[in-house]
Amino acid sequence: MVAEQLLPNGVTDERVLEVMSAIPREEFLSGRLRRHAYENRALAIDCGQTISQPLVVALMTQVLMPRPEDIALEVGTGSGYQAAVLSRLCKKVITLDREPALAEHASETLGRLGFTNVEVAVADGSQGWPASAPYDLILVACATPEVPSALVEQLAPNGRMVIPLGSSADEHQDLRIYELHQGELSSRSLFPVRFVPLRTG
């Protein structure tokens, strides 16, 4: 995975490469999908959701430039794999999913594998998680037509957020990085992606 998918496609952060080499991606998939764990494609999981392809996980993580002291928020827990990657690079990760079954399964998997600095919560991701705000990093793993204002409000000074913008899972969306400097939010486009939509409520 690292040699054939990540290194040739712009993943240069040694910490990201090391973490993704060490975490057993197959542990976040059901038995029938485990043999596909390291293929460079998204895979369907329960509740109509997906686990993102390894390259997208690596590039989204890399662009956030995680530091050991950072507190991170993830919107869209899914299998828990992205939260696991972030947890090895940050002080703490809060990850949210609106599907109780996914949150429960991800929490069990993360606990079984020893990821003790991840908190999984069932919540409307568009509202963020005010109880632990502000966040140095926010990673949104589902697409939305516009950036939820609650997430912007929960960014720490000099915080960074990566989020796919788009209204349909059937079309490519624009993955963007937002950075908050001196109260001003700037953004730039990264590359086209295709994520399941962010469901509110």
Residue 23 has pLDDT above 70, yes or no: yes
How far, in Å, CA of 71 to CA of 94, rounded? 8
Q: What are the two backbone dihedrals, phi and then psi, of residue 183, each rounded to the nearest 5 degrees?
A: 80, 0
> Can you tell me the distance from the alpha carbon of 113 to that of 28, in angstroms, rounded to the nearest whole number?
10
pLDDT on residue 165 = 96
Could you say which of 21, 30, 52, 149 is catalytic? 52
Residue 170 or residue 45, greater confidence: 45
Answer whether residue 28 is part of any domain: yes
pLDDT at 114: 97
> What CA–CA distance (Å, rounded) separates 113 from 171?
35
The pLDDT score that the predictor gives to residue 169 is 62
pLDDT number for residue 120: 98
Model-level pTM? 0.95
CATH of residue 27's domain is 3.40.50.150
Q: pLDDT for 90-131, tens place per residue?
A: 999 999 999 999 999 999 999 999 999 999 999 999 999 999
Kindly state whether residue 200 falls inside one of the protein's structural domains.
no
Taking residues 65-77, what's their average pLDDT? 97
Closest by CA position to 77, among listed 111, 110, 54 = 110
Please check whether residue 199 lies inside any domain of the structure: no
Q: Specify the pLDDT at position 64.
A: 98
- Residue 189 lies inside a defined structural domain of this protein: yes
Q: Is 87 a member of any domain?
A: yes
Ramachandran sector of residue 39 (left: φ over 0; alpha: ψ -120 to 50; beta: rest): beta
Of the candidates 155, 98, 109, 148, the one whose C-alpha atom is nearest the C-alpha of residue 132 is 155
Number of domains composing the chain? 1
Residue 189 bears catalytic tag: no
Percent of the chain with pLDDT over 90: 85
> What value does the mean pLDDT of the chain take?
94
φ/ψ of 186, rounded to 5, equals -120, 160
Helix (H), strand (E) at residue 107: helix 100-112
Domain of residue 86, residue span: 2-193
Residue 85 belongs to what H/E stretch? helix 81-87
Residue at token pair 């993360």: 110
Q: Is residue 134 helix, strand or coil?
A: coil
102-131: string of b/e by CB count within 10 Å (b at 16+)?
Answer: bbebbbebbeeeebeebbbeebbbbbbbee
Is residue 201 domain-resident? no
Is residue 198 domain-resident? no
CA dihedral 32, 34, 40, 45 (to 10 degrees): 60
Nearest residue to 76 (alpha-carbon basis) of 59, 95, 48, 92: 95
Whether residue 84 lies inside any domain: the answer is: yes
